[in-house]
Amino acid sequence: MRLFVAVNFPARLRQKIARLCGPLQEAGVPARWTEPDKVHLTFKFIGEVPAIEVEPISEALEEVAGRFRPFELRFGPIGAFPSPRRPRVVWLGVEPTPELRFIKDDLERRLAELGIPREERPYQPHVTLGRAPREAEAGEFRRLEEVARSLKVTDTYRVTHIDLMKSQLGAAGALHTRLVAARMGSRS
């Protein structure tokens, strides 16, 4: 079973975030753009695990979420990994608040206790907007930064739970299913 931990947004906010892709697409930025129903903030990609491990992972997630109170999430500018000149991923930034950092650290520590490898790269919270094809040429991204500067999401989102998600890969892309919604502050 392929798993990840995420913050999912309500439909209205997912639609608003997904609409940012339109101007980028119109500017000729080549990417496979994220569908609104797949818009989320990833806390941790776990990867393939046997079904028997879902319960201990769920319990760990509920334990971590329960230690933190709900908090406000704010969105930042649009960026790209590894760079806007030759991106692999185009993303909407998320303000890296202390709450996000502490939850991420606790989640990494707790999941490592279950044998799930820690992420070694620094956590840069973001919402993936699109993935660039490997064969795209650097010149095809020349308008990315210019167009991205004019795009913003001014909404804030109150995070009240963190979700354990299952991702099933298929011909039409990935199907995401929520397995557990771990409430924030349930152990306060």
Identify the burial level of 148 via C-beta atoms within 10 angstroms of its C-beta, where 0-12 means exposed, 13-18 middle and 19 or more buried: buried
Closest CA to 150 of 17, 1, 23: 23
Is 161 considered catalytic here? no
Q: Which of 40, 44, 104, 161 is catalytic?
A: 40
As a dihedral over the C-alpha atoms of residue 166, residue 169, residue 171, residue 176, rounded to 10 degrees, the angle is 20
Q: Which one-letter DSSP state was computed for residue 17? A: H
Catalytic residue chosen out of the listed positions 126, 148, 153, 157: 126
d(CA 83, CA 74): 22
- The structure tokens 């707790």 sit at 110
Residues that are catalytic: 40, 126
